[in-house]
Structure 1
């Protein structure tokens, strides 16, 4: 959409009698319709813009690190930005500036979801759709799902951009009970997604380095045909077949 606006503006300048729409000059320059950073960020910075950055790089904080989204640019955020930069061919200085933002813009859609995952594939299960009836309000469910999807995007990149498919995302409490859950599990918060599309053991093993507090895979009851990952605080990993 931003590229289309720019093209139309340029075309208008070349046509006799054309009216130039000045709003086009203020359109986003990149795929940043959902959020634009206006300053460089580095160690010691704080604010809502740091939190937005953390959402997008939390999957790169390191092995076993489930980074909090707290708006404070501390050592974990520095490490996450460095690893993100390295993974995408940028100089790993740990400072978020134009090149880092450009890569983030290229990776995200206008609704702030990452390029290879969408709300459509993680919304309510059991045929219900939507984000209501969970353990937190619908707005928080969607925010949690966005955070989980960005970590899944990092996992996908780590695995060589192998396509991954979500088989289950948010579940209402009623849906969670219907499929045999407790009714209050991580899926009811929007924290969890179930993945297929690659070796399950490879998924589970790599997920340990992409910011997931919960990982359940082959060898854990009911998880031989997918890998469950979630963004809970703390750590609960179990995929015995895979040595986890």
Structure 2
């Protein structure tokens, strides 16, 4: 994954691709009231996200993005590992990230929106990785175990699924070495540790429960079937704002 670079200090009032890249990097540093939105405009929401990130990394919370902030963002990669090999598709045929099929094709009878886009994206959405790392930091998760990552259409056919969110836009995981992993899908009992992580995702990171609002990071809830894992996805983020990579 191409690291974030800084060609200028960024602050409120700026706009452009570099601001959009910054918003991807800080996607999990919003709040319930001020979720970070990918729009390339450095407004009050982005400034407050920068300040939260600065406080969490012992930097002066001035809302200005300088080399110290960029270096702290880069350290997140080392401090909160996301093992890409564990994310790759397990169908045994596609090599990990599908075959690039079905671009601009949608599930039959469904609206032509990203939620139902059948495209096998060529890698994992960078924003998704940043969201996972942010929730790891804010929830104090030392390491995660990915229970379901990329699922190409061969995998879907093997398992009788038609879901599109795991085509590079979603991940299911549990935390390693922290909290209590209990719960039951059959008995519809929520895992205690998963509930804690989801609560932090909503209250502190600014993620949404479900998929009602566009351009937001989404959490699947127990009412959707996620009893014993944490599901994060970027299906509500428009395709033109995506950046998918095969290396981190």
TM-score > 0.5, shorter chain as reference: yes
Deviation at 1:115, TM superposition (A): 4.4
Q: By how many angstroms is 1:42 displaced?
A: 0.4
The CA deviation at 1:192 is: 0.8
Answer yes or no: is the 8 Å Cα contact 2:26–2:36 preserved in 1: no
Which residue matches 2:96?
130
Counterpart among 211, 215, 219 of residue 215 in structure 1? 219
Correspondence for 1:59 among 21, 28, 41: 28
Stretches of structure 2 that go unaligned for 5 or more consecutive residues are 102-117, 180-192, 208-216, 238-248
Q: Equivalent residue for 1:40?
A: 9
Deviations 1:139-180 (A, max 9, x none): 4x43x1x21111111111111243222211221133234334
> How far apart are residue 65 of structure 1 and its match?
5.2
**1:205 aligns to 2:199 (yes or no):** yes
Helix, strand or coil for the counterpart of 2:45?
Answer: helix
User: 2:155, 2:195 → 1: CA distance?
Assistant: 27
Match of 2:86 in 1: 121
8 Å contact kept, 2:80–2:143: no
Moved more, 165-174 or 130-139: 130-139
* Closer, same or farther: CA 178–64 of 1 in aligned 2, 3 Å: farther
Within-5 A mapping of 1:6-155? 34-63=3-32, 66-108=35-77, 115-128=80-93, 129-133=95-99, 135-136=118-119, 138-139=121-122, 141-142=123-124, 144=125, 146-155=126-135
Deviations 1:7-37 (A, max 9, x none): xxxxxxxxxxxxxxxxxxxxxxxxx973421
1:43 partner SS:
coil
Give the greater-gyration-radius structure (CA).
Answer: 1
Aligned residues: 193
Deviations 1:47-86 (A, max 9, x none): 2211221111111011265533232212221121111112
Taking a change above 3 Å as real, the CA distance of residues 84 and 119 of structure 1, as seen in their structure-2 partners, is same
Cα deviations by residue, 1:81-108 (Å, 9 ceiling, x for unpaired)? 1111122222222111122112112223
3-state SS of the aligned residue for 1:164? strand
In 2, distance between residues paired with 1:154 and 1:122?
A: 18
8 Å contact 1:85–1:100 — kept in the other structure?
A: yes
* CA–CA distance in structure 1, aligned partners of residues 198 and 34 of structure 2: 15
The answer for unaligned runs of 5 or more in structure 1 is: 1-31, 235-244
Aligned partners of 2:197, 2:141: CA distance in 1, in Å?
12
Give the drift of 1:203. Answer: 1.6
Cα 1:227–1:61 change in 2 (3 A) is: same
Q: Which residue of 2 aligns with 1:196?
A: 174
**Structure 1 length normalisation: TM-score?**
0.69
SS at match of 1:138: coil
Higher relative contact order (CA 8 A, sep 6+): 2
Q: Confirm or deny: 8 A CA contact 1:58 1:77 kept in the other structure.
A: no
Greater fraction of residues in helix:
1
Residue pair 2:29, 2:36 contacting (<8 A) in 1 also: no
